[in-house]
Structure 1
Amino acid sequence: MSDDTIRLAAVGRIVRRRGRLLVLLALVGALFGYGAGLLFPPRYTTSASVLLPGAWQERELLTQAEIATSSVVVDRAADALGWSGVGGDELRDRVSAGATDGNIIRVSGTADTPERAQRLADQMVRQFVAFNARIGADDGPEPAARPEELRQLVVRTHRRITELADNADPGRGVESVQTRTELAKLRTALQDAVKKLEQTDSAADRSNMVVMGPAARPTGETPPTRAQFIVGGALLFLVLAIVGHLAAARTGGRPRSATEIAEALGSTPLGTVGVPVDRASGRPGGGTPRARARARRLLGLDVRWDTPVLRTSGDEAGMRIRYRRVCGRLRDRLPTTRRLLVVVPEDDGIARRAAERLVAESESDPRTASAASPVLRVVAVGATQPVVPDRDGDESGALVVLSAGDRTAGELAGIAEACADAGRDLVGVVLAEPVRTRPTRSAGRPPAAATPVVAVEDNALEGAR
């Protein structure tokens, strides 16, 4: 792939050409998620609500929520439940509380079974209400008597004001002024008493918390469930596989065009030839061990996903013209008859088939009798550590045939260095591409006598079978 922005078309091509591999990796991810789910037991969560009557500020509600999950309330709930091996420290991680609209404190509890979760939430609410009631009782009986005293004070004050108003001198003397001043003070005291009475009534109402029914028994597990672990593992492996394909394609640095490949080899491109492949699958045959080829074909690894869609060639006659044009360019570069070594990577089945047909077309070309034509001999070399045979007599040049996008720049440089170490000059590069044939007219086949002669070293043949 180039450095252009990755489009959805690239992801779609990965899904189409690596579908079986992606399905296999998704199954592996599902098994991984299932194993991870076994490490986390199922959990169930439920909640119970407590209504706080009266007027409450937001800060006060948050304080009550903190009290509901305080260590005192949790420890008392743990003692009341009496679960073996479960103390207040463990329960503190399983409970939570929050203030909602309408002066409601919602207390939640989480346990390994629905029954335990229900009991935990109910017990937490019960201990929370009891703790608040005990805080109110600790103030003693005096606060409970204050509302009645204030009411009596209000009644006496009203009576006193009435008496003074009746006995006051209606004149404007000093005594009348003092009387009116006293009445004003009494009215102020009366207003303060009324305010204190209202505050006391509100505080009394606050102490009467209401539990809004028992907690509901949970019917489903708390996320993440085991099914979510399985689905998450499958999606994780699927995404990692797609990202890995894209990253490998962007960092692989594989030349694709004939010009880029020729520059990496330090030679000249002579042309591009087509190799017919199966129309349904687009896979050329041969070139790899049978068991390995079967596994690669099963997983869809025998065809690169980042290669362009196979184009349809004209017909057999058109493909033959391409091969003969390459042979003609080769004769133009070699005016005298010379023996050339056709170098192909041993794991490149398309390049091998193109090289064999190039040899056949060179021998069957009718212009061979009137023009000096080089004699071609095919040899397969390793991709990682290529070894090219040394010069033998007048066999000095080398022609490289390979597929586009299969070799990195380093591997191409290694092939060029192997040819240089063997004393062979690179006369050109031929690019082989898989195509789909469209038979429109009968095309003459090469004569039977023009069977390509492939001379490959023993170790190269063993690696190519």
Structure 2
Amino acid sequence: MSEDAIRLVTIGRIIRRRWRLLTILAVVGALVGYGTSLLFPPRYTTSASVLLPGAWEERELLTQAEIATSSVVVDRAAATLGWTGVSGSELRDRVSAKAADGNIIKISGTADTPERAQQLTDQMVQQFVTFAARILGDNTDPEAAARPEALRQMVVQTSRRITELADAADPGQTVEGVQARTELEKLRTALQEAMKKLDEADPATNKANMVVMGPAARPTGEAPPTRMQLIVAGALLFFLFAVIGHLAAARASRRLRTEPEIAAALGSVLLGTVDVPGEGPARGPRGRGPRAWIRWLLGVDTRWDLPTPQPSGGEVGRQSRYRQVCARLRDRLPAPRRLLVVVPDGDEIARRAAGQLVAEADSDPSPTSSSRGYPMLRVVEVSVSRPLVPDRGTESGALVVLSAGSWTAGELAGIAEACADGRHEVVGIVVAGTVRARPTRTAGRPPHHATPAFAVGDDARGGSV
């Protein structure tokens, strides 16, 4: 794969050509997600809210949220619930509290059943309100606790004294008497309002006014991640990892894809490119044995990173390409001679192209004319792992036919060395590709080149190694 940005067409090609493998891996991922859900039993979560009246600073609300999940509150809730085998330390991981807007503390509880989740949350709320009220009500300074009560007594006495003064004022309707009584009433009202504000600012009053905003609702669904979420996540992760693995393998591939790279690896010149009609998907495994069946079942017996075949320019255009290659090959040879057509073993596209090339060379209408005719060709398939080319005999020279994007530089260099060991000069290179063939116009009448290409390729392979 080139260093170009990965496009959607590449991912679409992976899905289209590897859908069997991707489907199997997605199923495996779903099974892994299901197995994971069995290790983690379902959980149910519910919550309840506690309102804190009065003016509270943000840090004070955070302190109350910490108190709600403190060990004292959780241990008291665990002791009250009395669940077998469940201690306060275990419950501490199942409860949480957070300060919300509007002086609200939201307490949440999680358990393995909806009923237990509801019971846990309600008990946590109750224990929190009780414990917080106790904290706010406790006062370790007796003098400070007695001061508000003494102030109230003084206000009561002052109010009584104001009443006495008002009664003792001039009972007549003089201006001075009316003004005195009015001032005394204003003073009484101011004292009452001050005392009311003092009561509202008293933490003990806020403590007593904590409001539980209803019991916790019984949960109707599992808390995430649910079993279905784990199954879907497992399938999706395995699918994505498979696609990413294909892209990474293609990016790290060292197979040669351009014609100049192929020519440089073989140390010869490119005579041209030829096309063969693309074949449909294989209806059975290529080879025998369980490994071949597995590869066919997974769909990995065909390359996915090859580009989509382009529409064919027609039979005439394909035949013209083969004639041009034969003509260039003839022009490079000083005299007519026999050549080996070397095809890497396993390169089906190259094998078909070599068979068609042999058929075209055999169909030269004028081998004795001034054009000297096309050279005689014989196909041999060479293993890229242990390349071995027949020694020079009746053939003197080699023509390498291969498809682009299938072999590395080291593999092609090995084929070139094998040709040199067999005393064959690599006189040229032909790169083969696939095209989408047009449907035949007459059913039952295949193109005239189809049978000779395969027949000649198979018969001429008598010297294969």
TM-score range, shorter chain: 0.7 to 0.9
Letter in 1 for 2:361: S
Q: Output aligned runs, 1:182-193, within 5 Å.
A: none
2:182 aligns with none
TM-score normalised by the chain length of structure 1: 0.83
CA deviation after TM superposition for structure 1 residue 137, in Å: 5.0
Q: CA deviation at 1:111?
A: 0.9
Q: Is the 8 A contact 1:317 1:444 kept in 2?
A: no
| Structure 1 residues not aligned, in runs of 5+ | 166-185, 461-465
- For residues 207 and 265 of structure 1, the distance between their equivalents in structure 2, rounded to whole angstroms, comes to 92
Distance in structure 1 (CA, Å) of the matches to 2:452 and 2:235 = 54
- Give the C-alpha shift of residue 162 in structure 1: 10
The 1-side partners of 2:441 and 2:337 are apart by: 37
Whole-angstrom CA distance in 2 between matches of 1:44 and 1:447? 70
Cα displacement (A) at 1:451: 3.5
Aligned residues: 437
Aligned to 2:386: 386
Q: Report the CA distance between 1:54 and its aligned residue.
A: 2.0
Q: How much does 1:107 deviate?
A: 0.9
Once residues 344 and 284 of structure 2 are traced to their aligned partners in structure 1, the CA distance between those partners, rounded to angstroms, is: 15
Instruction: Find the counterpart in structure 2 of residue 414 from structure 1.
Output: 414
**AA in 2 matched with 1:331:** R
Counterparts of 1:312 and 1:144 in 2: how far apart (Å)? 96
Which whole-Å CA distance do the structure 2 matches of 1:76 and 1:451 have between them? 91
The whole-number CA distance in structure 1 between the counterparts of 2:55 and 2:283 is 82
- The residue that corresponds to 1:333 in the other structure is 332
3-state SS of paired residue (2:366): helix
Residue in 2 aligned with 1:264?
A: 265
Instruction: Write the mapping of 1:368-387 to structure 2, written as runs, cut at 5 A.
Output: 368-370=367-369, 371=372, 373-383=374-384, 385-387=385-387
SS at match of 1:253: coil
Code of the aligned partner of 1:454: A
The one-letter code of the counterpart of 1:276 is P
Distance change (3 Å), C-alpha of 1:164 and 1:119: closer
Q: How far off is 1:10 after superposition?
A: 1.5
The runs of 5 or more residues in structure 2 that have no matched partner are 167-186
Match runs of 1:3-152 below 5 Å:
3-136=3-136, 138-139=138-139, 147-152=148-153
Q: Does 1:215 align with 2:221?
A: no
Asked if the contact 1:288/1:347 (under 8 Å) is kept, the reply is no
CA distance in 1, matches of 2:98, 2:456: 85
Deviation larger for 13-22 or 134-143: 134-143
Q: Is the 8 A contact 1:97 1:107 kept in 2?
A: yes
Give the counterpart letter for 1:339 in structure 2. Answer: R
* More deviation, 405-414/107-116: 405-414
Contact 1:30 1:231 in 2 (8 A): yes
In the alignment, what sits opposite 1:233?
Answer: 234
Q: C-alpha offsets along residues 327-370 of structure 1, whole Å, 9 cap, x if unaligned?
A: 22111111223332221121111111111221222122123333
Counterpart of 2:460 in structure 1 is 454
Give how far 1:218 is off.
0.8
Instruction: Tell me the distance in 2 between the aligned counterparts of 1:294 and 1:3.
Output: 34
| SS state at 1:340 partner | strand
CA contact (8 A) 1:256 1:404 kept: yes
Give the whole-Å Cα distance in 1 for the aligned partners of 2:159 and 2:456: 130
Q: Is the 8 A contact 2:62 2:99 kept in 1?
A: yes
Amino acid corresponding to residue 460 of structure 2 in structure 1: V
Look up the match of 1:366: 365
* Cα deviation, residue 457, structure 1: 6.2
Displacement of 1:3: 0.8
Corresponding residue for 1:353?
Answer: 352
1:399 is aligned to 2:399: yes
2:319 maps to what in 1?
Answer: 320
Q: How many Å separate the matches in 1 of 2:344 and 2:448?
A: 29
- Please give the alpha-carbon distance, in whole angstroms, between the structure 1 residues aligned to 2:278 and 2:19: 20
Q: Is the 8 A contact 2:359 2:452 kept in 1?
A: no
In structure 2, the partner of 1:426 is 426
Amino acid at match of 1:133: A
Q: 1:204: which partner in 2?
A: 205
2:184 corresponds to:
none
Distance, in Å, in 1 between the alignment partners of 2:317 and 2:284 is 22
For 1:293 and 1:202, the matched residues in 2 are separated by 81
Q: Deviations over 1:403-425 (max 9, x none)?
A: 11111223222222332333322
Cα contact 2:137–2:204 (8 A) shared by 1:
no
- 3-state SS, counterpart of residue 310 of structure 2: coil
State the percentage of identical aligned residues: 64
Going from structure 1 to structure 2, the CA distance change for 1:127 and 1:372 (only over 3 Å counts) comes to same
1:218 corresponds to which letter in structure 2?
P
Assess, with a 3 A threshold, how the Cα gap between structure 1 residues 372 and 411 changes in structure 2: closer, same or farther.
Answer: same
Aligned partner of residue 401 in structure 1, secondary structure: strand
In the alignment, which residue of structure 2 is the partner of 1:169?
none
Mapped to 1, the partners of 2:259 and 2:352 lie a distance apart of 18
Q: 1:37 to 1:367 in 2, by over 3 A?
A: farther
Instruction: Give the alignment's Cα RMSD to 1 decimal.
Output: 3.5
Q: Which amino acid letter does the alignment assign opposite residue 67 of structure 2?
A: I
> Does the C-alpha gap of structure 1 residues 204 and 286 become closer, same or farther in structure 2, counting only changes over 3 Å?
closer
Q: Relative to 1, partners in 2 of residues 1:454 and 1:291: Cα closer, same or farther, differing over 3 Å?
A: farther
Give the distance between the partners of 2:200 and 2:358, measured in 1 at CA: 107
User: Amino acid of the residue matched to residue 315 of structure 1?
Assistant: G
Secondary structure at the aligned position of 1:454 is classed as helix
Q: Structure 1 residues 136 and 372 mapped into 2: Cα distance closer, same or farther (>3 Å)?
A: closer
Q: Structure 1 residue 316: deviation in Å?
A: 3.0
Of stretches 250-259 and 300-309 in structure 1, the one that deviates more from structure 2 is 300-309
